[in-house]
Chain A
Amino acid sequence: MLILKPKFEFDVSVEAELTPELAEKSLEEIKNFKVWYGNAEKTLGELFDVEKEGDGKKLLLDGDFSKVKWVGTGMDDGEIVIKGNIGANCGAYMKGGRITIEGSADDWLGAEMKDGEIIVKGNAKNLIGCAYYGNPSGMQGGKILIEGNAGNYIGEKMTGGTIEIKGNAGDFIGTEMKGGEIIIHGNCGYAGGDMKAGTIKIGGEFDLLPTFRKSENGWTGDVLVGGEGRILKI
């Protein structure tokens, strides 16, 4: 296991593509791992206290990581545990393994992820499981669980996998959705705009677009794009 603690409070964002494989490297290699601090290239050791306990594929990020972006990007195995908040793009392009965030997550959580699991104990912001601008598909598989609330644009263009939000969410849920499942236990705004397939389950209040037709235990649409997606009440 590799334990990282920020050495100081970051003024600007840090771009650090940290994956659990890092924990298997030698301490020296880890300390020399390149990250960006604003527009300056730095080593991991310059920004973080690095400690190693055994060779397990696990990262423990201890402290405030809310300005640290791209943690867990593209990871395919192992585990990351974040004791505090985490910055944007956490778990983007993830292919496997697990990320547990004990604090809150920023935008683009699990964007375009293919498999694996992300659990957030606090809240998450916008664009969870989305496609990056211009790409045709968002989240394709895996599971994201948010125990708190979430922002806007959840699961845009997703084609598979599950996003579950225990609290409330914002507007534009499952826009252009092509598959998979979004579950919101609380309230949310407009859901399912231009959705072609997939399921959105909502426990609380939500806004329904006029382009959905009533069907068995819910609504089907978006008819604007000949879609067969389903919005269900739970």
Chain B
Amino acid sequence: MKYPFPVGRADFIQGDEAIARAAILAGCRFYAGYPITPASEIFEAMALYMPLIDGVVIQMEDEIASIAAVIGASWAGAKAMTATSGPGFSLMQENIGYAVMTETPIVVVDVQRGGPSTGQPTLPAQGDIMQSIWGTHGDHSLIVLSPSTVQEAFDFTIRAFNLAEKYRTPVILLTDAEVGHMRERVYIPNPEEIEIVNRKLPQNEEEAKLPFGDPHGDLVPPMPIFGKGFKTYVTGLTHDERGRPRTVEREVHERLIKRIVEKIERNKKDIFDYQAYELEDAEIAIVSTGIVARSALRAVRMLRENGIKAGLLKINTIWPFDFELIESVAEKVNAIYVPEMNLGQLYHLVKEGANGKAPVKLISKIGGEVHTPMEIIEFIRRDLK
């Protein structure tokens, strides 16, 4: 297949552009969106590329329609994505819940900007962490990935598609205006170098009859896509294994929701991803995600140069969250610091994970500027005194 951008070599591109190219290499053939800063460049890149590779790209009337179209496309068999920022992400929440409930693989990119409301359209923030995990109503689980670099924006986008397909779930790529608009060197692999996961399709009539069952015992039912003669009924109402609405029986609801949550939770080790820097002998740990983790890494190196044994835990998967990992770190260090661009969202998760084994301190910064390494160091120095 011919690609509308160079593959098998490095390129110097924006994060948003990297996400678009990665999506195409991951097999995305349907993109629906609505313009919003700082996510528009993803749409604009898709608009250039998709028609050339016989993919679909369409500007919908709003974000609600965009995610709806993406879910529809997924049931018609396509890998599908939409991208937005805070205000649009809020509008998508009802249908994110629909995708969770109907176990529809889709990828939703949220390029975070300052909020609430229209806030700071052009400036980065990390204010949507809680919304990305808990934004939709009801008990649920989904997957949230958080890149720090343009290369990671690329790699995590491919991973987002693979995880969505593997677990039949919406995956949110939670990035921010800084990563989205920054240009960096990115290696764009040849398609043969990329591992691609495709959803399980029913192997026989029996499996097709249980689109929401667990015929393989892995909690992930094969997905009978439309038009293959399986006659599948998909509803956001509580449904049984065959997809029939069963809205008042307690056991049916419990069985369905627990399986949907379990299929993510049970595979936490596979989904949760992190990088540890200098943590082995660390006396203090920084836990950070997204763009801020880069300042945090620099801060760790500078602290080490000054004789303070610091380490970094860079969180790449925000949900499902490995609380036990945080606890094991907390057991070994004197304190954990969480620098983030909000008033404390990752902080809540880390604090819960630390489970009282070490004090957890928030290094908060809002207003649209990424923490400098010095700001993180200053805070820690003052705190250690």
A binds B: no
